[in-house]
Structure 1
Amino acid sequence: MRHGSRAVAALIAAPVLLAATPPAAGGGKVSMEVTGLRNAKGQVLACLTAQPKAFPDCSKDPAARTAIVPAAGTVRIEFGHVPAGRYAISLIHDENGNRKMDMAIMMPKEGYGFSRNAPVSFGPPKFAKAAFDVTGGDVVQQAKMRYLL
């Protein structure tokens, strides 16, 4: 899994865009339920983007929405109302609270996850594997946090 420090830094450096967004026709509220955290240390960093080239690195999408929530056994992340479209979410369990993915010989030491529980092999999944549609109603995605070390 390659989660370059630049991508992770961008994920958490972007402003948290959880303020109420006026409803738009055809959109819906998006939230993410995350299970499988191995402990309640630190925080969960989340990023929602509609741009395939910006996944999982939200710094490439000025319209991306990010969130940071305290870690717990199960966490719920609210992204608010988003316009209709196709989106993907990336997650990091930042156990030590340093706002970056800690690595050990190019392998993540902390947990990670993606919308649709997209499979991982030799790097993060492509946008298409994690993407889901928002077409006119609330959407709740579910993901289980994964750990390699």
Structure 2
Amino acid sequence: MRAALLALAGLAAAFGAAPALAGEVVITVTDLRSSKGVVRACMTTREDVFPKCAKDPNSHRTVVPAGPKVVIRFTGVKPGNYAVALLHDENDNGKADRAMGMMPKEGYGFSRDAPVNMAPPKFKDAVFPSADGNGRLTIKMRYFL
């Protein structure tokens, strides 16, 4: 009996000494106007590249099918201050289509429902803290046209 208790104590100590794992940010996307195409998502800690994450090698990026229910999961998220940008790429051509060269024809969304005023929002308006790398967000897809 004593040996079993010592073995359990040893296991508990081993698990307690394990390094902390990176977290997961789960994003629920609402109000897509169709199930066509895909939703492109990026999450970055860098103000200088937001809302485009391509220049941030540490950003989290993914593409998921559009549908009536869209949930995006970013795993391996380290603690930090993040901002999320979404694009409902309805024709799946890999870019944000525009009308008259300016107005978005496809849906978009940002963390904290950051406002769009003739330009993408500022990082400071979309940023959310994640002290442990975990988070749950709901982002409403918006359409200009």
- Aligning the two structures, in what range does the TM-score lie when normalised by the shorter sequence? 0.7 to 0.9
Counterpart residue identity of residue 104, structure 1:
A
The one-character-per-residue Cα deviations of 1:85-129 (angstroms, maximum 9, x if unpaired) are 000000000001111111111111000000111111111110011
Measure the CA separation in 2 of the matches of 1:136 and 1:64.
17
Question: Sequence identity of aligned pairs in percent?
Answer: 50
Question: Runs of 5+ in structure 2 lacking a partner?
Answer: 1-17
Q: Which residue of 1 aligns with 2:142?
A: 146
Does residue 122 of structure 1 match 2:118? Answer: yes
> Aligned Cα RMSD in Å?
1.7
Which TM-score applies when normalising by structure 2? 0.82
What is the aligned residue count? 127
Measure the CA separation in 2 of the matches of 1:128 and 1:99.
26
Moved over 6 A (4+): none
Aligned pairs for 1:59-70 (under 5 A) are 59-70=54-65
Does residue 113 of structure 1 match 2:116? Answer: no
Q: Which residue of 1 aligns with 2:130?
A: 134
Structure with higher RCO (Cα < 8 A, 6+ apart): 1
Offset at residue 24 of structure 1 (A): 6.7
Counterpart residue identity of residue 67, structure 2:
A
Of 135-144 and 107-116, deviating more is: 135-144
Question: Runs of 5+ in structure 1 lacking a partner?
Answer: 1-22
Q: Which residue of 2 aligns with 1:30?
A: 25
Counterpart residue identity of residue 147, structure 1:
Y
Query: What secondary structure sits across from 1:122 in the alignment?
Result: coil
The one-character-per-residue Cα deviations of 1:1-49 (angstroms, maximum 9, x if unpaired) are xxxxxxxxxxxxxxxxxxxxxx974852112110000000000000010
Offset at residue 74 of structure 1 (A): 2.5
Which TM-score applies when normalising by structure 1? 0.80
Give the greater-gyration-radius structure (CA).
2
